[in-house]
Amino acid sequence: MKMKHLLKTLESEQDRRFRDLLGEKVWARLPCAIRRRFGKRLTGGSSVTYQGQVVSMRMSAAGWLITQLVRLVGSPLPYDMSSAGQPAVVVVTEDPQSEGQFWVRQYGRKHGFPQVVHSSKRFCGPTGLEEYIGYGIGMALTVEGTEDALYFKSAGYFLQVKGRKLRLPNWLTPGALIIGHHDMGDSNFMFSLRLSHPVLGEMIAQDCIFQDAQE
């Protein structure tokens, strides 16, 4: 009886949302540390904080132009090359209202205030996961897992107006976005961001290394 109670307690503390998106076979292939980070339930609006550092930042001329344009809608992309070597912080907070998650990323800069990026992940839409950056702009995401990483890949951008989602044509989008969560062992993981365009090639490449939150 005690063992059954313990198993039920552990199951209630798990977050199965990312697990269900991937499927049991792919989920089991992920490193234990990644399964622990994305399988921990944050209840009652609680948060988890990861601290780290931006280790590399590359940007083409086209990438710089796009980052300046999207600053008009909340700066969802890293825009300062001087952030390399600067501290970075990620805070994930459960959103009880939408049953999703708020993500806040802070990137240090050599001069001026840090850049702060806000977004909201919601478990809905045709792929089962969408990310909103504000101003009614969002994108559908697909989730993929490998033996050492978890990837979030853009699967179409949209504009939400009065409850309706209007898919944006490709020529109005910045390109394909891939976010990676790579386990590095020793309670460390790397966050990677790649934005690429079919004609302009890779426009933004950012890597940050974080440490697991202290329990």
Tens-place pLDDT, residues 60-102: 999 999 999 999 988 999 999 999 999 999 999 999 888 899 9
Confidence of residue 3 (pLDDT cuts 50, 70, 90): very low
Q: How far apart, in whole angstroms, are the C-alpha atoms of residue 200 and residue 170?
A: 13
Q: How many CB atoms lie within 10 A of CB 151?
A: 17
d(CA 52, CA 106): 10
State how far the Cα of 177 lies from the Cα of 166, in Å rounded to an integer: 19
Q: pLDDT tens-digit profile of 114-157?
A: 999 999 999 999 999 999 998 999 999 999 999 999 999 999 99
Helix ranges (H only) for the chain are 2-12, 17-22, 24-29, 32-38, 61-70
Q: Is the pLDDT of residue 159 over 90?
A: yes
User: Average pLDDT, whole number, for the chain?
Assistant: 91
Distance in Å from the first CA to the final CA of the chain: 28
Where do we find the tokens 């109670």? Answer: 5
Distance CA 195, CA 178 (A): 7
pTM for the whole thing? 0.90
Give the three-state DSSP class for 121.
strand
Percent of the chain with pLDDT over 90: 80
